[in-house]
Amino acid sequence: MYLRKLNLKCDLWSLYARLNRKNSFFLDSSLRDDDVGKYSFMGYDPVLMVRSRGDIIEYREGKSFKKVKGNPLSFVDKVLKANQDLRGQKSPFPFAGGIVGYFSYDLKNMIEKLPVKNIDDVGVYDQYWGVYDTFVVEDHRNKSLWLAGYDIEKLNRMEKELEEIAAIRNPFEEGAYIGEFKANFSREEYVKAIAKVRDYIRQGDIYQVNLSQRFKFEVKGSSRYIYDVIRRISPAPFAAFLSYEEFEVLSISPERFILIAGDYIETRPIKGTRPRGRNPEEDRMLREELACSIKDKAELLMIVDLERNDLGRISRPGTVRVPELFRIKDYATIFHLDSIVTGRLKPGITYEEILRATFPGGSITGAPKIRAMEIIEELEPVCRGVYTGSIGYIDYRGNCDLNIAIRTMVIKDGWGYYQAGGGLTIDSDPEMEYEETWHKTKSLVLTQKEVNRSACLV
């Protein structure tokens, strides 16, 4: 791998915003954290694009996609095998080039035999990935930018391009507009759906289900400007901006789905939410309320047990651990309760086996997972798409860092789609659960206000 330090007078997000290139990515640790927020990555000009819907897989190495019928869960392993000469590469960064993109929640239908009832009214792919052999890194601790890659000629060309791009003055001159939010549930409908979930729990079908509602709104102008605002309002350790020809994905996720480094595997499920207060005293009271909540702890404990079981299917016997169980994490607009579950992978495990064992994440389905997904399909009126899928990277060495795609917006054909939900148990208060979905949209509401205020000034 070739490394080159970049002496540019801007940070990585500013550079990516100026780039404004389709088929590109920005993996954004906008919330600085010595544990999970050390680096951010960006890339463009992929050597390969891969996407799928059902069992139809599309590959593009030139200008057009070619379709084949096959197993959409096996392509990661195929890419890693095709680049196995790079597996031994040493990199000072956790990402060493490779696959960047997303798995949508609806990829579940290729893993389990589930009913398919919901309407796919947005029409995104089940997964969409680029393979990047050259990329840029921001080291937040040392406040430095690095260009990394395997082709010295491409590295030289991109260095010149980035120097030119960095000189662009205002990447957000176009501005943006966000229209009125239209939910696909009324309050009464959502409360009724919660009552149905509680009936299923009483009948012994499930212990917990994650139910969500979706907000649709008109979008005009620069999606990069919208992301610039939302990442300032609500920075997150697993945020991302993905740009494709057909649509864009904007995520400010606080939750890790899977980290793999060598044979080490880790997941960090979140359950339990409280809004931030209006002052430090309210913050203290709400934080304490979450820390002492029997309902939220029980909810998280169910998911931790589910994740222990999932990791146990692909980890060496006796290696699954829960080093941290009930942690309170502070974010700009909310508090969350989370845990850490770890394991050591069995030798020779494939990504297809990892996905079949763990995807989708239990924190956004419920327990037992398969029955919870059936109930979600029954009660939610539309396909989830990217929401509660996973965004991130899988590098040439087989290492990965993938988020749970919550706090995530898709912008397509002039419309934005944003979904929010919560875990429901027998103790759930329907009105409070409905309000929690709105707490989780606070960053979007604040973004709408700032974006539209700025639009009025243009």
Burial zone of 160 (CB within 10 Å; 0-12 exposed, 13-18 middle, 19+ buried): exposed
Spell out the residues 6+ positions from residue 115 whose beta carbon is closer than 8 angstroms to its own: 374, 377, 378
Region 223-229 average pLDDT: 95
In whole angstroms, how far apart are CA 386 and each of 22, 28, 101, 248, 253? 18, 17, 11, 11, 12
**pLDDT confidence tier of residue 458, bands split at 50, 70 and 90:** very low
**Contact between residue 179 and residue 444 where contact means Cβ atoms under 8 Å apart:** no
Residue pair 333/281 in contact by the 8 Å Cβ criterion:
no
191 alpha carbon, distance to own chain's centre? 27
Q: Residue 353 has what pLDDT?
A: 97
- Spatial distance between the Cα atoms of 261 and 237, rounded to a whole number of angstroms: 18
Alpha helices in 111-258 (DSSP H): 152-166, 187-202, 223-233
Q: How many CB atoms lie within 10 A of CB 275?
A: 17
Write down the catalytic residue from 138, 255, 374, 433: 255
Range name among 3-7, 50-54, 74-78, 278-282 with the lowest pLDDT average: 278-282
Q: Give residue-wise pLDDT tens across range 128-147.
A: 999 999 999 999 988 899 99
Residue 33 is predicted with a pLDDT of 67
Interatomic CA distance for residues 41 and 238, integer angstroms: 11
Mean pLDDT of the region 73-91: 87
pLDDT given for residue 387 in this prediction: 97
CA distance 86 to 170: 38
Average of pLDDT values for 397-402? 96
The CATH fold assigned to 2-167+176-457 is Anthranilate synthase (3.60.120)
Angle at 341 between CA 424 and CA 354, to 5 degrees: 90
Do residues 382 and 418 make contact, with C-beta atoms less than 8 angstroms apart? no
Asked if residue 130 lies in contact with residue 26, where contact means CB atoms within 8 angstroms, the answer is no
Give percent above pLDDT 70 in the chain: 98
- Reduced to 3 states, what is the DSSP secondary structure of residue 133? coil
Contact predicate 269/423, CB 8 Å: no
CA–CA gap between residue 339 and residue 268 (Å, rounded): 5
Residue spans of the domains in the chain: they are 2-167+176-457
Rounded percentage of the chain residues whose pLDDT exceeds 90: 74
DSSP string covering 324-393: EEEEEEE-SSEEEEEEEEEEEBPTT--HHHHHHHHPSPGGGTEESHHHHHHHHHHH-SB--TTTTSEEEE
Q: Where are the beta strands (DSSP E) in 85-133?
A: 98-103, 127-132
pLDDT at 37 over 80: no
pTM, 2 dp: 0.94
Is residue 356 within 8 Å of residue 321, measured between CB atoms? no
- Residue 329 a catalytic site member: no
Q: Which residues neighbour 432 within 8 Å (Cβ) at sequence distance 6 or greater? A: none
Name the average pLDDT for the chain.
92
Residue 194 has pLDDT above 80, yes or no: yes
> What is the token pair recorded at 304?
């931790």
- Per-residue pLDDT of 146-188, as tens digits, reads 999 999 999 999 999 999 999 887 888 788 999 999 999 999 9
The predicted pLDDT at position 277 comes to 87
Cβ–Cβ < 8 Å for 103, 93:
no
| CA distance readout (Å), 450 to 6, 172, 418 | 32, 14, 17
Lowest-confidence region among 24-38, 64-78, 79-93, 277-291: 24-38
Q: Cβ atoms within 10 A of the Cβ of 62, count?
A: 6
For 435-444, the pLDDT digits (tens) are 888 888 989 9
Question: Which pLDDT score, from 0 to 100, does residue 34 have?
Answer: 66
pLDDT of the residue at 403: 97
Tokens encoding 87: 């597996």
Per the residue annotation, which of 216, 248, 266, 271 is the catalytic one?
Answer: 271
Q: Give the DSSP letter of residue 36.
A: T
Q: Is 449 a catalytic residue?
A: no
pLDDT value for 299: 86
The whole-angstrom separation of Cα 290 and Cα 172 is 39
